[in-house]
Structure 1
Amino acid sequence: MENSQAVETGNYVLVDYTGKFEDGKVFETTVKERALEAGIYEEARKYTPLFFRANARQVIKGLDKGVVGMKEGEEKTLTIPPEEAYGEYRDYMVQDIPLARLEIETPPEAGEKITTPGGREVKVLASTGTHATLDFNHELAGKTLVMEVKLVSIIGVDGLDHMSGQNL
């Protein structure tokens, strides 16, 4: 049944999307066929629409605001600047850390990702016998993102009750 309702703040939605950089390179998608086309397919991953509450800060701000007003089946391309995505790239978030503080003995390779003792995954920019230069920025920080979005469904509270078996 065609639903002419538009997404409002607080609605629960299902969205298919493909995230690209400005040069067109795909970095993320919820659509298996697009992942295969872009060469980023992961067999272990489930390619299903993203579920979130519109304009409730559960996803990046540009996507959050971008779905408001969309109708089921509608497609839209959002150009999302860094401040509405993963923030600006911050030089102060690149730090030299002693290997002993990282609780590792062998210097990591540049380009490798390691997990800090605090549980954070970070990119290694360089290392010596005693220190590693780590980038604590999100990997998409400082980037403008182009999101191709399709609103699959607006899910009412009644639908959520049925899906979860619980009252909201």
Structure 2
Amino acid sequence: MMTIEDNNVVSFNYEVKDAKTGEVVDSNVGQAPLSFITGKQQIIPGLENQMKGMSAGENADILVPAAEAYGEYNPEAVQTMPREQFAGIDLQEGMTLYGQSEDGQTVQVTVKSFDENEVVIDFNHPLAGKDLLFSVTVSEVREPTVNESLSGQVEQPGQESGGCGTGCGCH
């Protein structure tokens, strides 16, 4: 039976909880498994490292510290911006907005607070600073096809590659 090593295609189902509160923050249980190629930084490093050596049919509860998940919370990533930059947006505390960074990458920000003049936004990932508890079930471990090795992406019929489809940012 094949165990997870570098350059394998791994398919798994997961449920992720905030380790401190026990709140479920993401899950694909009951849906198609998430597939990725090991060693390509497609899922958070702490989870991938601890899945090595598992094989199909195995379950595990894996605790991933914040530093190996979405990073520590960075207070400097909180910024105050003029309200007019948010014209036309019905602002609500805690809402998620998407923008573009200077290098053209899509960035996700959370509205922390606002008043008539200013909006305080947080560039930290919503799960930054949180230790995460993953309950995983590995459904498949296999060698990549030639195309998968070349592209670095898992071929999934009828499914877009990359990500969990839930906005959790697993990759």
How many residues are aligned here? Answer: 146
Structure 1 unmatched runs, 5+? 33-46
1:53-90 alpha-carbon deviations (Å, 9 max, x no partner): 12321110111112211011011111000110000000
Shift in alpha-carbon separation, 1:70–1:114, aligned structure 2, 3 A: same
Q: CA deviation at 1:164?
A: 7.0
Q: C-alpha separation between the residues in 1 aligned to 2:72 and 2:62? A: 18
State the secondary structure of the residue aligned to 2:46: helix
- Give the partner amino acid of 1:30: N
CA distance in 1, matches of 2:13, 2:147: 19
Q: TM-score if structure 1 supplies the norm length?
A: 0.77
Using the alignment, how far apart are the partners of 2:46 and 2:61 within structure 1? 11
Cα separation, partners in 2 of 1:152 and 1:108, compared to 1, 3 Å: same
Identify the residue that residue 67 of structure 1 maps to in structure 2: 51
CA distance in 1, matches of 2:114, 2:90: 6
Give the residue type in structure 2 aligned to 1:28: D
Q: How many Å separate the matches in 2 of 1:139 and 1:14? A: 25
- Structure 1 residues 50-59 or 81-90, which shifts more? 50-59
- Report the CA distance between 1:159 and its aligned residue: 8.8
1:112 aligns with 2:95: yes
Distance change >3 Å, CA 155–CA 106, structure 1 → 2:
closer
State the superposition RMSD in angstroms: 2.3
CA apart distance, 1:117? 5.7
Rg larger for = 1
Deviations 1:84-130 (A, max 9, x none): 00000000011001123x24256722222223365533111111212
Query: Where is the helix percentage greater, Structure 1 or Structure 2?
Result: 1
TM-score (norm 2): 0.76
AA aligned to 2:17 is K
